[in-house]
């Protein structure tokens, strides 16, 4: 499976939608984050790491962790 290409394809499809939503400004850690930040990473069970976009940047996962 080509994880790098899958992540790239998803990133390209999602990127135009990044400014459509609103940042949860009632969460202090998110209030100052750019709505254009988006990244994904997949690590396989054999240790291979695939990243795209802003995956290496640290940010709060308070809202996304509920999914």
| Domain boundaries of the chain, sorted by first residue | 3-66
Pick from 55, 30, 21, 22: nearest CA to 40: 55
Kindly tell me if the per-residue pLDDT of 13 is higher than 60: yes
Kindly tell me if the per-residue pLDDT of 67 is higher than 60: no
List Cα–Cα distances, 20 to 23, 29, 36, 39, 64, in angstroms: 10, 20, 10, 16, 17
Which pTM does this prediction carry?
A: 0.74
- Which band of pLDDT confidence, cut at 50, 70 and 90, is reported for residue 64? low
What six digits make up the tokens of 4? 């790098």
Q: How far apart are CA 54 and CA 56, in angstroms?
A: 6
């Amino acid at each position: 499976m080509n994880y790098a290409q899958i992540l790239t394809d998803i990133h390209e499809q999602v990127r135009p939608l990044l400014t459509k939503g609103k940042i949860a400004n009632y969460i202090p850690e998110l209030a100052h984050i750019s709505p254009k930040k988006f990244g994904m990473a997949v690590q396989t069970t054999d240790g291979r790491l695939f990243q795209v976009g802003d995956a290496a940047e640290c940010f709060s996962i308070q809202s996304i962790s509920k999914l």
